[in-house]
């Protein structure tokens, strides 16, 4: 039997020698089969015997997920592991460099060489570490998927300029470092990027979006800050992009004004297949639903619509309004056109509100009609423990 997936939890740092012997046996049974390894540890230095075994099998590790309380990677660097087959690397750090609750900055000019041999690396996820991504010596020729935090907009722009084959970027812009006048005039053109998910910290300005051109963009989500925007129509127009997936987040604690109906008829949005809306504002959402109900040519390729509702003082009343709009509009759409593309319809709200929510019988009837047409319908609490009311 070939064993290929291993999850090793060493948080307690006890019986490391026994763990090392067991790992030696497990890895030996895998032969040279590609390995998927997850390692949970407080400090890499505490499990040196286990790391030595890992190093022997590093040449056929395909994915490595590392969960640690510190960002000291010297124990890995000393072993000079050969990660020639590594395709996916995920590093999650909690409490890195913390002294009395204060995180010390990463020393300038110091790079992490532990993964420099990963010449086939295509996916990387880095969260919680004080080490800037640019300080990891990582081969980037084959990198297609990046999920990380940028220390300021400048670092984010640098990330975009270097991996030539980057297709999917999930980025959190952590600190606002300001943009120099000369930088804002720079155009960052990435011809292969298809997914751009960006989360702003509270102080961030959206002005750097003016730098970006993504002609191949298919999926967009912007989690806005207090001063940023949930959707940059200028970015889409400038890029001549044709989105397939769009996720619209509101400012925290607020409702989300949707773009005007006419915006959804522009080339950049007219071919949407998946649309996810959080806390839509009643007025613009009603106009959107009216277009869904009355115009068969409006978003003709839409396959999935998800509407998520967050906590609000009038959540019950607001939820009933949204549910009614969605139910009636999609039942009408089915009556005026064959919606062969529609596969999924979802409306979800905080699960604790379900007990107080009584939906109108007419809404339930409309959703049932949509479901009977072959569409997967979920209406209920946003939790795995909740069941659909339909």
Residue with tokens 């989105």: 243
At 97 the pLDDT is 54
141, with CB counted inside 10 A (0-12, 13-18, 19+), is exposed
At 287 the pLDDT is 94
Task: Select, from the ranges 126-135, 138-147, 199-208, the one with the highest average predicted confidence (pLDDT).
Answer: 138-147
Among the residue ranges 204-213, 219-228, 326-335, the one predicted with the least confidence is: 204-213
| Partners of 98 in beta bridges | 103
Per-residue DSSP letter, 314: T
Strands annotated E in 129-244: 145-150, 168-173, 188-189, 195-200, 212-213, 219-223
At 185 the pLDDT is 59
- 292 vs 357, higher pLDDT: 292
In this prediction, residue 62 has a pLDDT band, given cuts at 50, 70 and 90, of very high
Whole-number average pLDDT of the chain: 84
- All structural domains of the chain with their residue ranges: 1-143, 275-390
Report, as an integer, the average pLDDT of 294-313.
87
Would you tell me how many other CB atoms lie within 10 Å of the CB of residue 30? 18
| Partners of 349 in beta bridges | 381
The backbone region for 102, taken as left when phi is positive above 0, alpha when psi lies in -120 to 50, beta otherwise, is: beta
Residue 210 has pLDDT above 70, yes or no: yes
Does residue 280 contact residue 255 with C-beta atoms inside 8 Å?
Answer: yes
Strands annotated E in the chain: 5-10, 35-41, 61-68, 88-93, 98-99, 102-103, 123-127, 145-150, 168-173, 188-189, 195-200, 212-213, 219-223, 245-248, 274-278, 304-308, 344-349, 376-381
At 228 the pLDDT is 58
Would you tell me how many other CB atoms lie within 10 Å of the CB of residue 101? 6
State in Å, rounded, how far the first CA of the chain is from the last one.
45
Residue 240, SS3 per DSSP: coil
In this prediction, residue 327 has a pLDDT band, given cuts at 50, 70 and 90, of very high
Q: 235-255 pLDDT, tens per residue?
A: 888 888 899 999 988 766 666
Report, as an integer, the average pLDDT of 284-310.
92
Output the six-digit token pair for 163: 């991996």
Report, as an integer, the average pLDDT of 73-84.
93
Report, as an integer, the average pLDDT of 119-133.
90
Q: 11-30 pLDDT, tens per residue?
A: 655 667 777 888 888 888 88
Instruction: Please state, in angstroms and rounded to a whole number, the distance separating the CA atoms of residues 126 and 8.
Output: 19
- 70 vs 336, higher pLDDT: 70
Report, as an integer, the average pLDDT of 149-160.
76
Q: How far is CA 113 from the centre of its chain?
A: 27
Report, as an integer, the average pLDDT of 253-268.
82
Report, as an integer, the average pLDDT of 314-343.
84
pTM comes to 0.87
In this prediction, residue 103 has a pLDDT band, given cuts at 50, 70 and 90, of low
Q: 31-56 pLDDT, tens per residue?
A: 788 999 999 888 888 888 889 989 99
Instruction: Please state, in angstroms and rounded to a whole number, the distance separating the CA atoms of residues 342 and 132.
Output: 42
Of the candidates 150, 257, 268, the one whose C-alpha atom is nearest the C-alpha of residue 198 is 150
CA dihedral 94, 96, 101, 106 (to 10 degrees): -150
Report, as an integer, the average pLDDT of 76-105.
82
- 248 vs 257, higher pLDDT: 248
At 206 the pLDDT is 56
- 389 vs 315, higher pLDDT: 389
Of the candidates 138, 96, 133, the one whose C-alpha atom is nearest the C-alpha of residue 114 is 138
């Amino acid at each position: 039997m070939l064993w290929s997936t291993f999850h090793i939890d060493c948080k307690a740092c006890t019986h490391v020698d026994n763990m090392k012997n067991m790992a030696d046996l497990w890895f030996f049974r895998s032969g040279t089969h590609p390995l998927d390894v997850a390692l949970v540890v407080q400090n890499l230095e505490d499990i040196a015997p286990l790391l030595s075994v890992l190093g022997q099998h590093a040449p056929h590790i395909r994915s490595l997920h590392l969960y640690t309380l510190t960002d000291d990677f010297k124990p890995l660097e000393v072993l000079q592991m050969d990660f020639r087959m590594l395709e996916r690397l995920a590093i999650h750090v909690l409490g890195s460099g913390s002294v009395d609750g204060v995180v010390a900055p990463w020393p300038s000019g110091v790079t992490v060489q532990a993964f420099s041999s990963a010449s086939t690396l295509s996916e990387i996820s880095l969260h919680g570490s004080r080490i800037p991504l640019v300080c990891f010596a990582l081969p980037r020729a084959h990198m297609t998927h990046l999920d990380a935090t940028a220390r300021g907009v400048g670092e984010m722009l640098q990330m975009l300029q270097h991996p030539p084959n980057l297709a999917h970027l999930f980025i959190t812009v952590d600190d606002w470092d300001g943009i120099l006048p000369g930088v804002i005039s720079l155009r960052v053109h990435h011809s292969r990027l298809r997914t751009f998910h960006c989360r702003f910290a509270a102080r961030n300005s959206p002005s750097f979006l003016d730098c970006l051109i993504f002609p191949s963009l298919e999926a967009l989500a912007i989690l806005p800050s207090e001063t940023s925007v949930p959707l940059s129509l200028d970015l889409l127009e400038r890029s001549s992009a044709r989105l397939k997936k769009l996720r619209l987040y509101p400012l925290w604690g607020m409702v989300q004004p949707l773009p005007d109906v006419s915006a959804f008829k522009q080339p950049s949005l007219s071919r949407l297949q998946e649309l996810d809306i959080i806390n839509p504002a009643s007025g613009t959402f009603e106009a959107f639903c009216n277009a869904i109900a009355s115009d068969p040519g409006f978003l003709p390729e839409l396959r999935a619509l998800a509407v998520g509702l967050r906590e609000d003082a009038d959540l019950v009343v607001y939820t009933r309004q949204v549910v009614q709009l969605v139910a009636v509009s999609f039942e009408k759409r089915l009556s005026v056109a064959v919606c062969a593309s529609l596969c999924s319809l979802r409306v979800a709200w905080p699960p604790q509100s379900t007990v107080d929510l009584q939906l109108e019988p007419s809404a339930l009837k409309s959703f049932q009609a949509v479901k009977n047409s072959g569409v997967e319908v979920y209406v209920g609490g946003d939790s795995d423990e909740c069941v659909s009311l339909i």
